[in-house]
Every structure is written in C-alpha cells, then in structure tokens.
Amino acid sequence: MTTVEKVKGPASYFPSIEEKYGHPVEHWFGILRGAGDLKHMALVDLLKNQHGLGHGHANALVAYHLARS
C-alpha cells in the first residue's frame, strides 16, 4: 500500500499558482532571486504590483523562497 503525503505550507499553493498565472513556480523564484536582498513584504509587493499576483499566492512564493535561501 502506498501512502501519498499531502503537501502542506506554502508549497500547497503551487499548483493553483501555476494554473492561474501560466508559469511554473520556478519562473517566480527566478524573479525573486533577481530582486536582490529585499524583505518579505517588499518581495510580496513586487509580485503583486509588477506581476499581478494575488496576495496569498505572492506571500506563499516569498515564504517558500526565503525559507530555502
């Protein structure tokens, strides 16, 4: 019997982010890497204001990005 573990945390948003905005999440991580050393909310604002992401999706991408940096 195989057990499939449900994805939790920020990564749980990734399928809907990819579907809604038409880019793989790695696209957004590239933008975040290129943004330099900004704080969490500045990165969220960048994704929202310059790329049209909703707050929850932007926040999930930034939280995941910063956690693995």
Per-domain boundaries in the chain? 11-68
Name the band, by pLDDT with cuts 50, 70 and 90, for residue 66: very high
Q: What is the mean pLDDT of residues 2-6?
A: 70
Name the band, by pLDDT with cuts 50, 70 and 90, for residue 5: confident
Average pLDDT, the chain: 94
Report the C-alpha gap between 44 and 51 in whole angstroms: 10
Across the chain, the runs of DSSP E, i.e. the strands, are none
Is the torsion defined by CA of 52, 63, 32, 38 positive or negative? positive
**Vertex 23 angle, CA 6 and 15, to 5°:** 15
